[in-house]
């Protein structure tokens, strides 16, 4: 498997958006991890036995580890098509990139941000500063899954902490969880800045869980149908081989294990040859 380090030069367009997205992701992830380990778990589960607390610590670290590992793998895994020699003869199904001045295999598209043609390009991800394509889409999907689960977990922990130390989430107390009310209580000296900060991060956590959960569902549906996002929008099912083969093509063998632990496995295809045997005609 080839690796590369994404290079977004300062002169390139949207470089600031890459930097902002990356800093946001890292900052929020570290805040979530810190509050889980040092604030919410120790206070909410103070009466639990050692094993109960340890299991929650391990779950938090496990989710965070999967987020970091899959983010790194998605970022450094090279899925570009460049410096290739044209086949002789060039297959009729191939296209031609005017920017790179090379013939490209089916499902390969040029990214004006990465400045490369990308094998089975799905989309450009600003949070990883790279395109999601044939070789790294599995890492992106698993990353989305763990970010959604981790954000939901943190949101629930934060909500439990606020229920105990801010205002019970019941009756008229639910109105204190609205931002205008919370900021009024802060100005009036009825609560602390830290608790308002925890409330803000609770909203952020649940918001991230909804967004990344939706993103995960969308990409898993496309993987199930053997489609890229563009193909799904345009209702193209040319490369659909059935759910089992479609998932195998993206995740490799034992694909469920990819969601349990970061792993690299050989993919059945190279992202170049998309010829498919013709189905037998019914007699």
Using alpha carbons, select from 138, 144, 142 the residue that is nearest to residue 269.
138
> In which residue are the tokens 């205008």 written?
180
Average pLDDT, the chain: 89
Report the pLDDT value the prediction gives residue 282, as an integer from 0 to 100. 40
Q: How confident is the model at residue 278 (pLDDT cuts 50, 70, 90)?
A: very low
Residue 105 lies in a domain: no
Residue 92 lies in a domain: no
Q: What is the pLDDT of residues 179-207, one digit of tens each?
A: 999 999 999 999 999 999 999 999 999 99
Q: What is the pLDDT of residues 123-176, one digit of tens each?
A: 999 898 889 999 999 999 999 999 999 999 999 999 999 999 999 999 888 999
Residue 119 lies in a domain: no
Report the pLDDT value the prediction gives residue 114, as an integer from 0 to 100. 83
Residue 144 lies in a domain: yes
Report the pLDDT value the prediction gives residue 2, as an integer from 0 to 100. 56
> In this structure, what is the dihedral angle of CA atoms 31, 32, 34, 35, given to the nearest 10 degrees?
110
Q: How confident is the model at residue 276 (pLDDT cuts 50, 70, 90)?
A: low
CA distance 66 to 75: 14
Identify the bridge partners of residue 77 per DSSP, sorted by sequence position. 3
pLDDT of 89 over the 90 cut: no
Q: What is the pLDDT of residues 15-59, one digit of tens each?
A: 788 888 989 999 999 999 999 999 999 999 988 999 999 999 999
End-to-end CA distance of the chain: 44
CB 111 within 8 A of CB 124: yes
For the entire predicted model, the pTM comes to: 0.90
Report the pLDDT value the prediction gives residue 10, as an integer from 0 to 100. 45
Total number of domains in the chain = 1
pLDDT of 233 over the 80 cut: yes
pLDDT of 283 over the 70 cut: no
Residue 212 lies in a domain: yes
Residue 216 lies in a domain: yes
Domain extent for 250? 26-78+130-259
pLDDT of 279 over the 50 cut: no
Report the pLDDT value the prediction gives residue 129, as an integer from 0 to 100. 86
Report the pLDDT value the prediction gives residue 9, as an integer from 0 to 100. 46
Residue 90 lies in a domain: no
Residue 269 lies in a domain: no
Tell me the percentage of the chain whose pLDDT exceeds 70.
92
């Amino acid at each position: 498997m080839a690796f590369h380090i994404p290079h977004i030069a300062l002169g390139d367009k949207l470089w600031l958006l890459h930097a902002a997205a990356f800093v946001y992701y890292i900052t929020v992830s570290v805040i979530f991890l810190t509050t889980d380990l040092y604030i919410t778990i120790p206070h909410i589960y103070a009466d639990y036995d050692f094993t109960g607390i340890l299991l929650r610590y391990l779950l938090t670290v496990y989710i965070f580890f999967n987020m970091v590992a899959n983010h790194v793998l998605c970022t450094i895994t090279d899925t570009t098509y460049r410096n290739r020699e044209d086949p002789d003869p060039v297959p009729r199904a191939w296209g031609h990139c005017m920017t790179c001045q090379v013939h490209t295999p089916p499902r390969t598209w040029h990214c004006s941000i990465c400045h490369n043609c990308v094998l089975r390009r799905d989309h450009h991800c600003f949070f990883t500063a790279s395109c999601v394509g044939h070789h790294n889409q599995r890492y992106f999907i698993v990353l989305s899954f763990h970010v959604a689960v981790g954000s939901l977990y943190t949101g629930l922990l934060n909500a439990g902490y606020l229920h105990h130390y801010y205002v019970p989430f019941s009756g008229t107390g639910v109105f204190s969880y609205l931002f205008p009310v919370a900021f009024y209580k802060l100005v009036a000296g009825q609560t602390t800045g830290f608790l308002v900060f925890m409330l803000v991060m609770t909203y952020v956590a649940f918001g991230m869980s909804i967004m990344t959960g939706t993103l995960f569902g969308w990409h898993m549906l496309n993987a199930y149908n053997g489609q890229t996002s563009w193909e799904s929008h345009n209702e193209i099912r040319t490369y659909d081989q059935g759910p089992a083969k479609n998932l195998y093509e993206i995740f490799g063998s034992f694909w469920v294990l990819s969601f349990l632990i970061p792993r690299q496995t050989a993919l059945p295809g190279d992202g170049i040859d998309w010829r498919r045997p013709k189905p037998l005609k019914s007699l």
